[in-house]
């Protein structure tokens, strides 16, 4: 791959119609993301100018974990991510380290605010949990002995602020939710209601549960972090309260996105004027 300057990947995964609940246990889902980082990206990082990474399924957090730690793309100008899920405060650091970026697109990217896994999955997948708050058995209605339930406090406000302050060459930024294939024209550009997501490995065919696109309402067990014992015959997952991270973080997220877009727009206008002045000067010399 020595001559590659642009790499654009849409990654598929195994799906079994008669047993989709086991797909998440496929070893490839655990191993591929670290392999992608170490064996595909790292060897050609010095030469890439354009990179697009998307999976059909949510990626970055579980079953496989993509840290991006140590990845430096010194010539990278354009980066597009699709279906990437951040679940740690440093999860975007590998992106923020690419100071050469002039264009960044985040399509169907999320922050995982609530996560439920079982002990055997934690042992096999070994996801980092240092930024996660663990809740006692029975929280959110999850009362199996091997249930491990967590929440993560990260916000898009922080990510947008970091992008604005650290990617100082950025003159194009898109935060979108596309209903079509990756790299198609996004159906919705802006602060969409699905930007926070939950993980429940007890569900199928996918453990990733998107928030409502209409109002941002989420579903995670019974939505209540309080330990609660249902009456005999009562469904412990019956909704007990609302859960809406998009609404709760709307003010801060919107403020940070608006400021980011304003700065990016100013850089784009300044660059356009600079290019115009250069063109006129070249014309006079000619």
User: Tell me, what CATH number does 175's domain have?
Assistant: 3.80.10
Written as six digits, the tokens of 121 are 């999955």
pLDDT of residue 252: 99
For residue 92, give its domain range. 6-111+151-203+212-218+242-285
How big is the chain, counted in residues? 286
- pTM for this prediction: 0.92
Q: How far is CA 126 from CA 111, 147, 175, in A?
A: 19, 15, 30
Written as six digits, the tokens of 278 are 């250069």
Q: What backbone torsions phi and psi does residue 277 show, to the nearest 5 degrees?
A: -65, -40
Contact (CB, 8 A) for 119 and 148: yes
Domain count for the chain, please give it.
Answer: 1
3-state secondary structure of 196: strand
Mean pLDDT for the chain overall: 91
Contact (CB, 8 A) for 98 and 50: no
Is the residue at 228 inside a domain?
Answer: no
3-state secondary structure of 277: helix
Is the residue at 233 inside a domain?
Answer: no
First and final C-alpha spacing in the chain = 41
Low-confidence ranges of the chain (pLDDT < 70): 16-22, 181-188, 233, 277-286
Is the residue at 143 inside a domain?
Answer: no
Contact (CB, 8 A) for 193 and 215: yes
Is the residue at 77 inside a domain?
Answer: yes
pLDDT of residue 166: 98
Is the residue at 19 inside a domain?
Answer: yes
Q: Cis bond leading into 63, ω under 30°?
A: yes
pLDDT of residue 21: 56
pLDDT of residue 185: 54
Is the residue at 24 inside a domain?
Answer: yes
């Amino acid at each position: 791959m020595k001559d590659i300057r642009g790499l654009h990947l849409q990654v598929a995964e195994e799906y079994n119609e008669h047993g989709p609940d086991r797909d998440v246990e496929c070893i490839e889902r655990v191993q591929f993301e670290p392999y992608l980082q170490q064996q595909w990206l790292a060897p050609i990082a010095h030469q890439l100018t354009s990179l697009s990474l998307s999976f059909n399924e949510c990626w970055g957090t579980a079953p496989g974990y993509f840290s991006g730690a140590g990845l430096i793309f010194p010539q990278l100008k354009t980066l597009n991510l699709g279906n990437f899920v951040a679940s740690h405060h440093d999860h975007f650091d590998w992106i923020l380290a690419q100071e050469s970026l002039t264009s960044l697109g985040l399509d169907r990217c999320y922050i995982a605010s609530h996560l439920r896994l079982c002990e055997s999955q934690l042992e096999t997948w070994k996801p980092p949990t240092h930024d996660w708050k663990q809740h006692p058995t029975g929280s959110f209605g999850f009362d199996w002995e091997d249930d491990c339930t967590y929440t993560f406090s990260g916000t898009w406000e922080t990510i947008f602020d970091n992008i604005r302050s650290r990617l100082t060459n950025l003159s194009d930024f898109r935060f979108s939710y596309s209903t079509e294939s990756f790299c198609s024209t996004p159906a919705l550009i802006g602060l969409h209601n699905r930007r926070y997501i939950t993980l429940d490995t007890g569900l199928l065919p996918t453990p990733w549960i998107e928030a409502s696109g209409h109002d941002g309402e989420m579903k995670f067990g019974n939505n209540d972090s309080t330990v609660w014992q249902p009456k005999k015959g009562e469904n412990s997952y019956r909704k007990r309260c609302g859960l809406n991270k998009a609404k709760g973080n709307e003010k801060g997220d919107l403020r940070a996105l608006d400021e980011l877009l304003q700065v990016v727009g100013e850089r784009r206008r300044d660059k356009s004027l600079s290019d115009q002045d250069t063109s006129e000067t070249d014309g006079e010399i000619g």
